[in-house]
Structure 1
Amino acid sequence: MKSRLVPFVGLALLAAVFVLASWQQMRRTRERTDPGVREIHLGHFMIHAGMREGLDEVIAAYENLNPGVRVKQDAVPLRAWSAWQRAQWAGGTTPDIMQIGKDTGDLELGRYYLALSPWVESPNPYNRGTPLEGIPWRDTFVDGLSGGTGYSAALGDSYGIPSQVNTLRLFYNRSLLRAVTGRDKPPATFAALLEVGRAAQAWSADRAGEGAGPDGRRAIVPLAASGPYAGFLFDFLSQSFTGELARPFTPSRTLRPEMTDVARAALEGRWSLDDPPVRRLLEAWAEVAALCPPGYLTQEREDAQFTFVTGRSLFLVAGSWDNAGVLQEAGFPVGVARFPFPGRGEGYWGEFSSGPYSEANAGFGAELAVARTSAHPELAIDFLRYLTSYEASRRLTIRSRRLPAIVGVPVPEEMEPFLPRTDGAAAGFSVVMNGLPGGNTALLMKQQFYRLVNRGGEPGDGAAAVETFVAAVRPGWEPALRRDLARATQARLPTLRAADVRVAFAATDERTATGERAERIAELREAMLDQEAGWYQLREAP
């Protein structure tokens, strides 16, 4: 009898899901067609603890100020984001406001999102009565909207509005650190970090199998790191070692080397994997990797964080965006410190380092753009103004436990360790070549990264791992660089065509005053000429 009912149970569940989906669709349609209600949607992948709750608070305050307006969050897991994003683009159903930064290049910015120059030069009206009153919206951001994914140098315009600054930090278990070292102060130098890590391994080996819990009676790993975050950490470590190498091949002298310039310099023989600073960098990473659990490159962010919050690792590499989740889940006192990158002249590891690099150009998070297909673009921009106002940013900072991107917004004392370091040396480049179009070189190196670990367990044994790694990478190194540069050359053409169209449109835009129009055309032409020069340089790559 039960077996006969099983198909009907399945059909009943299917019918229930269909009815629920239909009801939700009807409700949304009714809301959209209600002449007294204007609704905008915010699509994002910020599902970390604290962020959605913080946005809810800001949205509630905005709706209270603007009766008849509804703002809905469409939160999508990061793993599903790329496919979902492309489906929205293709179907013309992009939410009014969309997070950018994941698979959004110049071409996508220009095609699917509004250029924001008509709005960012005017003061943010929601800053009245605050220290930012009367200041152009652009200048209320710590970088003046000149960096991050939201600004396109190729298109000469800003497309994204950031609300947060992101930094990478070293979280540590205070109780466990005291048990291992007798103190709860984190290591201040790279050499000290390696020493504490080895001490934790020895401490763990002595106590393996002695029970469980974060009180020092469980076998632990020194450093919990996932594949993606380990990649971030390697890039930052790389920037500490390659600052001096990068200066000769930064044509614009901005101290921000483009990855295409770095790749061309490698093919021209101006730097290589055999250069002493690069070898020392790889050796340093072999030492760091020896502190991580086996298979760390295949782990996801959640895996590493779970290892840490359950008391099975001493340190955790994570971002400021993870802060709320870590503090919420950990059952022990948590400390936060800057990762101790090697300082100039700091013994063996500082011999080729240009010193801890400046984080003045730290990455921006929660960058939001307005869709071209939005039914309410002015309303979407108005909400972004409110979201990035002084008061709303202060509220979001407290609730989300993330750093604000707005000038002068105070941060809670607990957030101060996450503040970007504004002094220090100019950063170098990523030896893994992250950010180079095509991704062939990065893939080649990441496939061999498992070789880059000090298996000997003694200081200095990492040099053998470096030899093995370089020998495995070398045969495919130059071919991969050439494929990536060819891809970069090809990818720049659609952007150049889009820039041509933008210049032509600006020249005929009667909505802009004559003087402003001429200034805008000059800006666009300058950006276009810069991109054309870069394209010709790429064509001449060896």
Structure 2
Amino acid sequence: MKFNMNLVGLVLLVGGFVVSLFSVVSRSFDEGALSQNAGDGKKVVQLMHWSLEPGFREAMQDVMDEYNALPHVKEANVELRQLDITERVYAQVLNVHAVSGTAPDICGRGGPDKGAIAQGAGIAQYFDSLGDAGLEPNPYNAPQYLPEGLDPELADALSNGPWRDTLIDGMQASYVLELQDFYAVPTSFVGSVKIFYNENLFADAKALLVEAMQQSPQPSWYRDLVWDRTGDAETGYVVDTPELRAWVLNDEVPETLGRLMMVCEAIWQIGKQTGNDQLVPIAGSSYSDTMFAERYAVPFTSTLAESMNYDGDTWVSGSEAWLSWMAGRWSFEDPAHAAYFDCLREICKQFPPGFLGLDREQARRRFVTAQAGMIATGAWDAKSLFDAAQGTVVTEDNPLLPSEIATEFRGLPHKNHRFGVKIMGFPLPGPDERWHDHITHPASDAQANGSGQFMISQRSPNKAWALDFLRYLTSYSVNVEFNRRAERLPMVIGGLPKAELAAFIPNPEGLASGDRTNPYDTQAGNLRTQYLGQFKNFLSGDLDYDEFVRFVEDAAHDERTGAKRVMYDVWQRQRDQVRSVEALIAVQSARELLQQQPDAANKVIQGTRQSAMLFNATRLKQFWDQEFPGEPFPEY
């Protein structure tokens, strides 16, 4: 029999992964990280997370130290400890230890890439429900814990209202629809994604634009910025108007997309003139490419979304997008959709070559070393970007070492100062600019939810203490200070962030974030995977738009894995969801009748309402019959 060498490679690969994972976990055990009791009889309550950004671990440790020093905690010989796991293996560590019953007492919860075991109905097998606890007041919001001078109405809501209602999103981020319950507590607010920019480089770019505009004749690169629609393909971005010239001459940052593209081109020219071939306008990466796509999807495609939203809610699902596509309600050739893709491609041209091979850390490093003019990210990266670029203020706690030099910056001495950082939003195309005729309104941030979610392990021997700490962490005074130290937005109502993070406070104005074409929604299954793969190839320039459309439409027409399969798979999931809700109603009804549990009646009502909204999993079939009367619904 011929020996298969590929099998050897597979065995070595799997073996290497197992050894690496064992090494990480073993080291954690050696350090007492995953054990629940210390050798001196102390009750150790472990909190595991993957947030390794500068500031978060330190802020969490400060809170733990303060909690450990509380009299009732010291008397009980309890100690909170944190275990930070790298993002790359967090899902494996969580899944393995949850199944084996050795998970830390408190575990961070994220999306499917942070542990599929914490998603959907399966979460109830390994983690405790927090719905009942959320209905009780938070004892750490009692009047004696609140700062003096707090608004009386706010103080009353914090002290006497349900714990859940003291958090900005009402714990909605942790609500598991299939179980009609809450399974995690958020500790920070997500906020909105913004653009961080190098104000020194922007000033240099504006100066170069002034110089180019005033030259006679103007350099070709500047003339190429003028919007030209006469050829087969549009070029340039702006119309040369008095208003544009006035903006070039002032020191204002770009408030329109066309002007932002002018700054991008000026940064390219600075790189050429200085011989710096590493300098790029935007520190793009595989992490941030879809951030631009998300921010511009609603303005460009909301008019198309009106014809897709069969159920009239605030979100166009994957099944709605592909059903309406099959019915001819929209197409990839629609001018608004083509303009959206054209805009994204022009933006991605400002990224480094090969940006899909770059990760988040590489993009941050490029920005803080002044090799990029901008980077798109959220408040979670703010501290690391500010500290690395602007340096830190010299204080008694952060003294200047003999080998260091202080730089005066914004009125204060800073060490390790490189350049100033400011924050701006994602500008839309303005009047007299390319793409302006295709946009409507920006997306609203009103649907933003909490982040930094933490669950309590079902097999934890310290559940009461784990719950007590989460209450402490999300109390008004503690949560505000924790997020200030971590450079994030507070999760508790009434909490204000640090001044420099105010830009990340969600803006509720605009259209719903789901008011867009959404063919890559998670409902789309295998078709979503194919779509995203070709989408990234288009953004990187490996495909033109016609090639992208051909690949995607071929995939959608595939009888086995295409758009029709999306219909069947979504219907099947909805049917399973109906069964889960009906089982939940039966269980809660029994709890109400036989055990007189006070929360059961409300859960029966919630379940009944959800069951009614699901229409016994018939809605998608009704929409199908509406579009294709007489044609049988797809079956596999």
If the length of structure 1 is used for normalisation, what is the TM-score?
Answer: 0.85
Equivalent residue for 1:145, pick from 157, 171, 184: 171
CA distance in 1, matches of 2:80, 2:379: 26
Q: Within the alignment, does 1:55 sit opposite 2:60 as a pair?
A: yes
Q: What amino acid does structure 1 have at the position aligned with 2:255?
A: A
Q: Within the alignment, does 1:352 sit opposite 2:476 as a pair?
A: no
Q: Within the alignment, does 1:376 sit opposite 2:402 as a pair?
A: no
- Quote the offset at 1:17 in angstroms: 12
**Which residue of the partner structure matches residue 424 of structure 2?**
337
**Which residue of the partner structure matches residue 121 of structure 1?**
135
**Which residue of the partner structure matches residue 518 of structure 1?**
601
Which deviates further from its counterpart, 100-109 or 428-437?
428-437
**Which residue of the partner structure matches residue 506 of structure 1?**
588
Distance 1:328 1:74, change over 3 A: same
Q: Within the alignment, does 1:74 sit opposite 2:77 as a pair?
A: no
Distance 1:517 1:42, change over 3 A: same
Q: What amino acid does structure 2 have at the position aligned with 1:31?
A: A
Q: What amino acid does structure 1 have at the position aligned with 2:102?
A: T
**Which residue of the partner structure matches residue 273 of structure 2?**
206
- Quote the offset at 1:178 in angstroms: 0.9
8 Å contact 1:107–1:495 — kept in the other structure?
A: no
CA distance in 1, matches of 2:251, 2:607: 54
CA distance in 1, matches of 2:56, 2:24: 29
CA distance in 2, matches of 1:168, 1:339: 9
Give aligned-pair identity as a percent.
Answer: 24
Task: Tell me the SS of whatever aligns to 2:194.
Answer: strand
Distance 1:162 1:52, change over 3 A: same
Q: What amino acid does structure 1 have at the position aligned with 2:47?
A: L
CA distance in 1, matches of 2:69, 2:33: 25
Q: What amino acid does structure 2 have at the position aligned with 1:468?
A: E
CA distance in 2, matches of 1:341, 1:95: 45
Q: What amino acid does structure 2 have at the position aligned with 1:116?
A: L
**Larger RCO, structure (CA 8 Å, separation 6 or more):** 1
CA offsets 1:131-162 (integer angstroms, 9 cap, x no match): 3221221211222223x3x1123322222211
Larger-gyration structure (1/2): 2
Task: Tell me the SS of whatever aligns to 1:351.
Answer: helix
CA distance in 2, matches of 1:248, 1:506: 39
Task: Tell me the SS of whatever aligns to 2:197.
Answer: strand
- Quote the offset at 1:224 in angstroms: 0.7
The within-5 A match list for 1:146-165 is: 146=172, 148=173, 150-165=174-189
Task: Tell me the SS of whatever aligns to 1:39.
Answer: strand
**Which residue of the partner structure matches residue 197 of structure 2?**
172
Distance 1:467 1:195, change over 3 A: farther
**Which residue of the partner structure matches residue 4 of structure 1?**
none
Equivalent residue for 2:44, pick from 39, 53, 78: 39
What runs of 5+ residues in structure 2 fail to find an aligned partner?
Answer: 1-22, 113-117, 147-154, 208-249, 390-417, 625-632
**Which residue of the partner structure matches residue 212 of structure 1?**
none
**Which residue of the partner structure matches residue 309 of structure 1?**
368
**Which residue of the partner structure matches residue 220 of structure 1?**
279
Q: What amino acid does structure 2 have at the position aligned with 1:139?
A: D
What runs of 5+ residues in structure 1 fail to find an aligned partner?
Answer: 1-15, 210-217, 456-463
Distance 1:119 1:202, change over 3 A: same
Equivalent residue for 1:95, pick from 95, 104, 114: 104
CA distance in 2, matches of 1:298, 1:341: 28
8 Å contact 2:575–2:616 — kept in the other structure?
A: no
Which deviates further from its counterpart, 41-50 or 127-136?
127-136
- Quote the offset at 1:448 in angstroms: 4.6
Distance 1:481 1:321, change over 3 A: farther
Distance 1:430 1:77, change over 3 A: farther
- Quote the offset at 1:399 in angstroms: 0.7
Q: Within the alignment, does 1:320 sit opposite 2:346 as a pair?
A: no
CA distance in 1, matches of 2:293, 2:34: 48
CA distance in 2, matches of 1:26, 1:145: 28
8 Å contact 1:452–1:469 — kept in the other structure?
A: no
Q: What amino acid does structure 2 have at the position aligned with 1:155?
A: L
CA offsets 1:421-472 (integer angstroms, 9 cap, x no match): 12122222364514235243243332353334679xxxxxxxx932333233
Task: Tell me the SS of whatever aligns to 2:288.
Answer: helix
If the length of structure 2 is used for normalisation, what is the TM-score?
Answer: 0.73
**Which residue of the partner structure matches residue 122 of structure 2?**
108
Which deviates further from its counterpart, 317-326 or 255-264?
255-264
Task: Tell me the SS of whatever aligns to 1:239.
Answer: helix
Distance 1:243 1:512, change over 3 A: farther
8 Å contact 1:142–1:405 — kept in the other structure?
A: yes
CA distance in 1, matches of 2:530, 2:25: 43
8 Å contact 2:304–2:330 — kept in the other structure?
A: yes
- Quote the offset at 1:251 in angstroms: 4.4
Q: CA RMSD in A?
A: 3.0
Distance 1:259 1:158, change over 3 A: farther
CA distance in 2, matches of 1:512, 1:537: 38
8 Å contact 2:199–2:420 — kept in the other structure?
A: yes
- Quote the offset at 1:416 in angstroms: 1.1
CA distance in 1, matches of 2:253, 2:197: 8
CA distance in 1, matches of 2:109, 2:315: 22
Q: Within the alignment, does 1:481 sit opposite 2:568 as a pair?
A: no
Which deviates further from its counterpart, 310-319 or 492-501?
492-501
CA offsets 1:343-362 (integer angstroms, 9 cap, x no match): 7x674323232212111112
CA offsets 1:457-511 (integer angstroms, 9 cap, x no match): xxxxxxx932333233321134333344444344455544443443232222269
- Quote the offset at 1:110 in angstroms: 3.3
Which deviates further from its counterpart, 480-489 or 352-361?
480-489
